[in-house]
Chains A and B, each alone.
Chain A
Amino acid sequence: MSLNRRSFLQVSSAAVGLVMAEAAFARIAYAEGAAGTLRVAIAKPAGNLDPQSHFAIWAIQDLMFEPLVKYGKGGQIEPCLATDWKIEDGGKTLHLTLRQGVTFQDGTVFDAASCKWNLERWMGKEQFSWMNCSKYFESLEVVDDYHITLRFKEPVLALMQELTYTRPPRFLSPKSVGADGKFGEPVGTGPWRQTSADDTQSVFERYDGYWGDKPSYERLEAKVIPDPRSRVAALRAGEIDLIGGFWIAPLTPEEGKQLEAAGFNVAIDPGNVSLVMAFNPDRADALKDQQVRKAISIGIDRAAISQALYHGYAKPAGNLFSSALPYAGKQNDAPVRDVAAASALLEKAGWTGSPVRSKDGKPLTLEMVVSPDAVPGSRVIAEVIQSEMKEIGVDLVVRSVDHASKHTDMLEKKYDLGFFLTYGAPYDPFGSVVALCLSTFKNDVEGKLVTDAANLDPLINAATAATGDQIEPTIQKVYDWLYDNDAIAPLVYVPSIWAHSKRVQGFTGPVTEYDMPYENIVLAE
């Protein structure tokens, strides 16, 4: 058969047309399959969903398991499975009224008996002694079917906040566990019921027996996409509807900006997690001098970091906590970069010369340990700070390490300068203050941001022992001590960034980084 130009063009255009038609049909079929389904990206498989273990993605547990009370905007405690609560006896007794008409997804009634069964799974256990309500737990008394009373040995600090946590305080159906009492199926009282889960995705369907406002769509798919660029590409291709969340599928400011330019909706929340730089005077003698710490702090251009690296989405920080958190204290202005003042402080402290200052023949060389896996973007921030420190005569050596080494190095305090992230709502302010700053509290995950057994510990202990009106002035003293001694250098408040397609309407960012923001979403088909 001979092939002339005309027949070649006919055949090839037919082939191209066929391929395009097939792609279009596939898209239509795909869109039909997705009707009524919200598709969210998750960076890793959801994991073991046992509310009393520590391995799952928080936001996935949040879909199924509910707490007694919820953490609302600004730290407001809102009713959930408990409709009313009363704290008596100076914080040692808690009376709870449970919500009636709630059933677990397997039909089991939620009442005082199932509530007791759940609370006894973790309260008072050594494993959960990091929570005050578990550490001081004394007894639990069932008053009637919908009333229980909890008693504690000591007044419990931030008791209601602790009850909002995702794990361990959330409620699991007593019938879902094995004969040995071990976790079996993820069955909670929440609006979503898991239908399947594997390493590629977790699928949920709406639980129609849910007591509260039911979602307006029937299915939710959490698709596992580990690579950040693939997640962004999947959103663009219409394979997923929603990405974001620090612990779910983090989106960088740059990606947010690109998606915004490409016509996607990008929701930025000021965020309640702070990026803080720690000084380690135990390793670097120079940092024992407050003038040196202050010089380093004011030598950093927080505004430029926020502008250039966060595209203005992050707010420069002057405090350990942002005002989005309760008891965040008086808000100080973020330090403004002042090279002359920083240099003057170093001169005054006896560090002279150039290009690298020295004192008693020792150069002012400091080592900064960063891990981009543990604190996203920290390597670039370190490079910026390195260049800014050079201008004031401080030789900053950046050591970039992997996630695992970062944790061991931070625990063993093998750094002069390092980055820390605060825990954010609902754990803060007390979570970070105790875990990162109290020397007697054992923290073998992040290490310590700053400790001072003689001066800081008494202030923190006073703040955690305070009740009622006394909390605010006592915790302010902790913040004042940190500020007056330049003990830490808060850098920026890390923004919470979410992006979604036009299909998703009514999106509002989650109150904490541990929640899945499914609630107000309406899907446009």
Chain B
Amino acid sequence: MNKLKPLFARLNKFPRVALVVIGLFVALGTFAPWLAPQDPSAQNLLQGSLGPSVAHWLGTDHLGRDTLSRLIIAANTSLVSVGSVLIIAMTIGILMGTIAGYHRGWVDDLLMRVVDVGLSIPSLITALAVIGIVGPGYWTMVLALALAWWPMSGRISRAVAVSIMSKPHIEALRVLGASPWRIYFGHLLPGTIGAVMVYATADAGTAALAVATLSFLGLGIQPPTPEWGQMLVDALPYLESDPRQVILPGLALTAAVIGFNTLGEAIALNRIPKPLTRRMLAMRRIEVAGWAKENSDA
């Protein structure tokens, strides 16, 4: 229990509501197939648009499908698609950014002009263009959003990489004769990933919204896979006769987006430099001792 104390102390610094919401979202998304009480695609046309009941806790949609099950499975759809979009976008962005930051010179100029072009076009338009060429579908949507998303993380990672590269310890490494691979993979990449991850958390909300937007336009997830944006658009005709069908997916989406944004902000605020603890000091000593060994080997 004592070991968990620092973890709790750290978590305590984050807004609890955001933590609960995102925790719930991730848990629901991960375990959705086991948590959904009913088959989310099972229809019963004669039981459409029913209010909450014992059989259907949150009622049914216009085709008589269980709303609760669809909301839970939709969390999984969103989690997987948002996760994939961010992983692909961050991978491309961090690679481009760190290469530019490490190499500088013409490589930097070239890569950053590509990033400038990417940033100058609104991400949704890039995504729509990709979908227009490849055709709508789940993985097309993920790819399209990733292609629209990476320039932002590319720009951030380049800035972080440049600042890391100008730090004295990198200079020391070079003087001590560390190989470029070692500097890149051992020092530059880990440092950059950490910084960019913070922005990724804040971006997750926007990405979830983009997935919902594309589905809302009928360009993303195809039936019968439930998705919050798709559930919203399906329910729109019933806004007046049964607003519950619109409000529930709307609330889920709003909670996820606000949760991610709040959490991202909190993480960014918590990254203000902390005083060196005894433990961190010891770690650094061990690392520096390692350098000396490497030097003597050479």
Pair from one complex: yes
Q: Which residues of A contact B (CB under 8 A)?
A: 229, 252, 254-255, 257-258, 261, 301, 304-305, 307-309, 372, 379-380, 382-384, 386-387, 390, 397-402, 405
Say yes or no for B35: interface residue by CB 8 A criterion.
no
**Whole-angstrom distance from the CB of A266 to the nearest CB of chain B?**
14
Q: Does B222 contact A (CB under 8 A)?
A: yes
Whole-angstrom distance between the Cβ of B230 and the nearest chain A Cβ: 10
Supply 18 further A-B pairs (C-beta < 8 A) apart from A307-B46, A308-B64, A402-B219: A254-B238, A255-B237, A304-B45, A308-B45, A308-B62, A380-B234, A383-B63, A384-B43, A398-B222, A398-B223, A399-B135, A399-B137, A399-B222, A400-B223, A401-B135, A401-B136, A402-B218, A405-B135
Contacts of B241 in A (CB 8 A): 254, 257-258, 261
23 contacts between A and B (CB under 8 A): A252-B237, A254-B237, A255-B237, A308-B45, A308-B48, A309-B45, A379-B223, A380-B234, A382-B223, A383-B223, A383-B224, A387-B224, A397-B222, A398-B222, A398-B223, A399-B136, A399-B137, A400-B136, A400-B218, A402-B136, A402-B218, A402-B219, A405-B135
Chain B, Cβ-Cβ closest to A414: B135
C-alpha spacing A127/B46, complex, angstroms: 49
B42 at the interface (CB under 8 A from A): yes
- What residues of A have a CB within 8 angstroms of the CB of B62 in the complex? 308, 380
**How long is the Cα–Cα vector from A379 to B241 in the complex, in angstroms?**
20
When distances are taken between beta carbons in the complex, the residues of chain B under 8 Å from A400 are 136, 218, 222-223
Given contacts A255-B237, A308-B48, A401-B136, contact A384 B63 (CB under 8 A): yes
For A373, the closest partner residue in chain B by CB is: B218
A260 CB, min distance to chain B CBs, angstroms: 11
The list of the 9 closest CB pairs from A to B, nearest first, reads A308-B45, A304-B45, A387-B43, A383-B223, A254-B237, A398-B223, A400-B218, A258-B240, A308-B48
| A301 lies within 8 A of B45 (CB) | yes
Q: How far is the CB of A109 from chain B (nearest CB, A)?
A: 51
A258, B236: Cα distance in complex, Å: 13
Write the nearest CB–CB distance from B17 to chain A, whole angstroms: 33
Query: B30 within 8 Å of A by Cβ?
Result: no
| Interface 0/1 of B41-68, CB less than 8 Å to A | 1110110100000000000001110000
Write the chain A residue with the least CB distance to B240: A258
Q: Which of B42, B46, B238 makes the CB contact (< 8 A) with A304?
A: B46
In the complex the two chains form, what is the Cα distance from A249 to B127 in whole Å? Answer: 31
Residues of chain B with a CB closer than 8 A to A383's CB: 43, 63, 223-224
Number of residues on chain B facing chain A (CB within 8 A): 24
On chain B, the residues within 8 Å of A258 by CB distance are: 240-241
Whether B135 and A308, one on each chain, are in contact in the complex, defined by CB atoms closer than 8 angstroms, is no
- In the complex, what residues of A have CB within 8 A of residue B218's CB? 372, 379, 400, 402
A520 to B267, CA, bound (A): 69
Chain B residues numbered 162-214 whose CB sits less than 8 Å from any CB in chain A: none
Bound: A309/B46 CA distance, A: 10
Min CB–CB distance B127 → chain A (angstroms): 14
A-B interface pairs (CB < 8 A), number:
64
Interface hub of B46, B222, B224, B234 (most chain A Cβ within 10 A):
B222
B window 237-289: CB within 8 A of A: 237-241
State A261–B238 Cα separation when bound (angstroms). 13
Chain A min CB distance to B234 (Å): 7
CA distance A398 to B138 in the complex (A): 12
> For residue A390, which residue of chain B has the nearest CB?
B41
Chain A residues near B239 (CB-CB < 8 A): 229
The complex places the Cα of A372 from the Cα of B230 at a distance, in Å, of: 13
Provide the residues of chain A in CB contact with B224, threshold 8 Å.
Answer: 383, 386-387, 398
Which residues of the other chain, A, contact B223 by a CB distance below 8 angstroms? 379, 382-383, 386, 398, 400
Query: How far apart sit A254 and B237, CA to CA, in the bound complex (Å)?
Result: 7
Smallest CB gap from A388: residue in B = B43
Q: Bound complex: CA of A175 vs CA of B236, how far in Å? A: 50
Instruction: Compute how far the CA of A401 lies from the CA of B218 in the bound complex, rounded to whole angstroms.
Output: 7
List, in ascending order, chain B residues with CB within 8 A of A305's CB. 45
Within 8 Å CB of B135, what residues of A? 399, 401, 405
Given the complex, which residues of A lie within 8 Å of B42, measured CB to CB? 387
- What is the minimal beta-carbon distance from A312 to any residue of chain B, in angstroms? 12
Taken together as a complex, chains A and B put the C-alpha atoms of A380 and B240 apart, in Å, by 19
In the docked arrangement, what's the CA distance between A305 and B62, Å?
A: 12
In the complex, the answer to whether B63 meets A307 with C-beta atoms within 8 Å is no
Q: Which residue of A lies closest to B237 (CB)?
A: A254
Chain A residues positioned under 8 Å from B43 (CB to CB): 383-384, 387
Q: Which residues of A contact B41 (CB under 8 A)?
A: 387, 390
A231, chain B: closest CB distance, angstroms? 13
Q: Are B63 and A308 in contact (CB under 8 A)?
A: yes
Smallest beta-carbon distance B141→chain A, Å:
12
Chain B contacts for A387, CB-based, 8 A: 41-43, 63, 224
Q: How far is the CA of A392 from the CA of B135 in the complex (A)?
A: 29
Query: Does the CB pair A380–B136 fall under 8 Å?
Result: no
Return chain B residues, CB-CB under 8 Å to A257.
241
Which of A252, A258, A305 is the most central at the interface, judged by chain B CB atoms within 10 Å of its CB? Answer: A258
Q: Which residues of B contact A380 (CB under 8 A)?
A: 62-63, 234
- Least CB distance from B46 to A in Å reads 7
Q: Least Cβ distance of A337 to chain B in Å?
A: 11
Q: A366 → chain B, closest Cβ, in Å? A: 14
B47 to A: closest C-beta gap in Å? 9
**C-alpha gap A255/B240 in the complex (Å):** 9
Instruction: Say whether B46 contacts A308, CB under 8 Å.
Output: yes
User: In this complex, what residue of A is CB-closest to B47?
Assistant: A308
Q: How far is the CA of A258 from the CA of B240 in the complex (A)?
A: 8
Shortest CB–CB separation between residue A259 and chain B, in angstroms?
10
B7 CB, min distance to chain A CBs, angstroms = 44
A305–B222 alpha-carbon span in the complex (Å): 20
Q: Which residues of A contact B45 (CB under 8 A)?
A: 301, 304-305, 307-309, 384
**Closest B-chain residue to A398, C-beta based?**
B223
Q: How far is the CA of A261 from the CA of B242 in the complex (A)?
A: 13
- How far, in whole Å, are A233 and B276 apart by their CA atoms in the complex? 64
Nearest CB in chain A to that of B41: its residue: A387
Taking the closest CB of chain B, its distance from the CB of A146, in whole angstroms, is: 53
A307 to B45: give the CA distance in the assembly, Å.
8
The closest CB in chain A to the CB of B48 belongs to A308
A residues in contact with B136, CB < 8 Å? 399-402
Complex Cα distance A390/B40, Å? 14
**Bound-state Cα–Cα, A254 to B239, Å:** 10
On chain A, the residues within 8 Å of B137 by CB distance are 399
In the complex, how many angstroms separate the beta carbon of B162 from the nearest chain A beta carbon? 43
CA distance A405 to B128 in the complex (A): 14
Within the assembled complex, what's the spacing in Å between the Cα atoms of A384 and B223? 10
B63 to chain A, nearest CB (A): 6
State A436–B63 Cα separation when bound (angstroms): 31
Say how far B241's CB is from chain A's closest CB, in angstroms: 6
Q: How far is the CB of B70 from chain A (nearest CB, A)?
A: 12
A254 to B234, CA, bound (A): 12
Quote the shortest CB–CB distance from B22 to chain A (angstroms): 31
Which chain B residues border A384 with CB–CB below 8 Å?
A: 43, 45, 63
Q: How far is the CA of A261 from the CA of B240 in the complex (A)?
A: 11
A402 contacts across to B, CB distance below 8 A: 136, 218-219
Chain A residues whose C-beta falls within 8 Å of the C-beta of B46 in the assembled complex = 304, 307-308
Task: Give chain A residues whose Cβ lies under 8 Å from the Cβ of B236.
Answer: 229
